[in-house]
């Protein structure tokens, strides 16, 4: 994906919406789609994505989506070449000039800074990884150059590097998040005021989530525990969640663990999952990596899980399992059928989204699972 092709994203609406606004929406769309990995923020990000896409016509949405796939493919090629190039920063500076007096660090200067910071002969820290902080991160150019330097010296950036980056401009947060995510770098990108230490939101890259870096390298922005970090720990470790819940009233009064839900609350969760399955079955989904069948079967497993929780609540003797076959009760709606994993809903906006993108190639673009177990 060339710089010219990235700049063309701004022309997707053919002048109906200003170029810089279209490019900004593309950044938010891409960031929200990647953030579907994040158990803490997924609902918030999906709601933002739904609202954003309402302003675009079906053809325009398809073009935005294709541009995202093209970006993934280009980063895949960059990773194969061992190149951590900033693709979004130069386009942003051209499409959104002078908005907040921003001047991004040139790539050559970023490389020089990192060569001075990590000279030849540098020893890996005792903890096994480097920690980097990039305030006013822009598009994440310095972080990407640091990752390249780590790889140049023989280490794996997905294992031996964790990044915290901050910016007050949400567009810069999105750019850094998109690129650090797709390059497979564990990172937390914070939308906040560096000088006032005021945090508005944070974005965990998939590599940070999959590697459970929140336990090894939590990225606090201000004194004390970070609320989102604590929620992430609770989501990843049931024992820790139970301990924190027993301590009482620490985090989010709206969160109720399944074990504490009433029958009415469990039934409400079931209703939401049925609605979600029906929506995918009727309209397909926008998952850039997996077919509709995979997503439908995942929701089906959620339905089975919630029915098991419901049975446990009623009997007190049923073992909860996500994978046990469903047992019908008189009040239970039929569990949706299991569909072929490769099934795609026909006739919807994104029916052909995987046509030219075989699953193994897209999986390679992320490089996350591979890089996390790859030997140095």
Nearest to residue 103, comparing CAs of 144, 141, 133? Answer: 141
Checking if the pLDDT of 100 tops 60, the result is no
Same domain for 108 and 197: yes
Mean pLDDT calculated for residue range 315-341: 62
Same domain for 210 and 240: no
Checking if the pLDDT of 284 tops 70, the result is yes
Beta bridge partners of 201: 191
pLDDT tens column, 341-351: 888 888 887 77
Q: Which residues contact 243 (CB under 8 A, 6 or more apart)?
A: none
Same domain for 251 and 293: no
Mean pLDDT calculated for residue range 240-262: 63
User: Rg for the chain (alpha carbons), in Å?
Assistant: 22
Checking if the pLDDT of 17 tops 60, the result is yes
Are the CB atoms for 73 and 67 separated by under 8 Å? no
pTM of the model: 0.67
Percent pLDDT > 70 in the chain is: 83
In a domain, 217, yes or no: yes
Checking if the pLDDT of 327 tops 80, the result is no
pLDDT tens column, 306-326: 888 888 877 754 444 444 444
Q: What values do phi and psi take at 130, rounded to 5?
A: -90, 145
Eight-class DSSP state of 102: -
pLDDT given for residue 98 in this prediction: 56
Same domain for 331 and 263: yes
Q: Domain total for the chain?
A: 3
Q: Which has the higher per-residue pLDDT, 101 or 79? A: 79
Checking if the pLDDT of 330 tops 60, the result is no
Instruction: Give the CA dihedral 76, 79, 85, 90, nearest 10 degrees.
Output: 10
Percent pLDDT > 90 in the chain is: 41
- From CA 56, how far away is CA 81, in angstroms rounded? 35
Q: Which residues contact 6 (CB under 8 A, 6 or more apart)?
A: 67, 71, 87, 88, 91
Distances (CA, A) of 300 to 115, 280, 291: 51, 11, 15
- E strands within the chain? 130-134, 161-167, 187-193, 198-204
State whether residue 99 is helix, strand or coil: coil
In a domain, 370, yes or no: no
Three-class HEC string of 23-73: HHHHHHHHHHHHHHHCCCCHHHHHHHHHHHHCCCCHHHHHHHHHHHHHHHH
Same domain for 316 and 208: no
pLDDT given for residue 95 in this prediction: 85
In a domain, 230, yes or no: yes
- From CA 245, how far away is CA 251, in angstroms rounded? 9
Mean pLDDT calculated for residue range 347-364: 58
Range of the domain at 235: 225-255
pLDDT given for residue 166 in this prediction: 95
């Amino acid at each position: 994906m060339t710089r010219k092709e990235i700049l063309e994203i701004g022309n997707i609406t053919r002048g109906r919406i200003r170029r810089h606004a279209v490019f900004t929406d593309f950044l938010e769309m891409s960031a929200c789609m990647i953030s579907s990995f994040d158990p803490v923020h997924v609902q918030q990000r999906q709601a933002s994505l739904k609202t954003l896409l309402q302003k675009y016509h079906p053809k325009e949405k398809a073009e935005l989506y294709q541009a995202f796939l093209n970006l993934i493919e280009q980063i895949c090629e960059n990773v194969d070449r061992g190149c951590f190039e900033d693709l979004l920063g130069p386009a942003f500076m051209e499409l959104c000039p002078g908005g907040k007096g921003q001047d991004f660090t040139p790539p050559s200067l970023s490389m020089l800074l990192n060569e001075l910071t990590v000279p030849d002969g540098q020893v890996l820290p005792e903890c096994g990884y480097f920690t980097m902080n990039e305030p006013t991160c822009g598009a994440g150019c310095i972080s990407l150059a640091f990752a390249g330097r780590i790889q140049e010296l023989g280490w794996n950036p997905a294992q031996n590097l964790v990044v915290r980056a901050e910016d007050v401009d949400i567009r810069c947060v999105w750019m850094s998040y998109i690129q650090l995510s797709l390059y497979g770098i564990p990172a937390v990108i914070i939308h906040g005021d560096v000088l006032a230490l005021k945090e508005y939101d944070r974005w965990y890259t998939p590599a940070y989530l999959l590697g459970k870096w929140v336990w090894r390298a939590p990225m606090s922005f201000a004194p004390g525990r970070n609320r989102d970090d604590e929620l992430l720990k609770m989501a990843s470790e049931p024992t820790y969640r139970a301990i924190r819940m027993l301590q009482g009233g620490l985090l989010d009064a709206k969160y109720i663990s399944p074990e504490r839900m009433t029958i009415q609350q469990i039934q409400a969760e079931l209703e939401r999952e049925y609605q979600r399955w029906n929506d995918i079955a009727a309209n397909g989904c926008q998952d850039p990596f997996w077919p509709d069948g995979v997503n439908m079967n995942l929701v089906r497993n959620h339905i089975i899980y919630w029915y098991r929780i419901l049975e446990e609540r009623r009997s007190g003797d049923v073992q909860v399992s996500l994978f046990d076959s469903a047992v019908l009760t008189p009040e239970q709606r039929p569990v949706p059928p299991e569909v072929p994993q490769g099934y795609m809903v026909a006739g919807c906006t994104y029916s052909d989204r995987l046509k030219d993108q075989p699953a193994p190639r897209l999986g390679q673009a992320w490089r996350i699972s591979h890089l996390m177990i790859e030997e140095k």
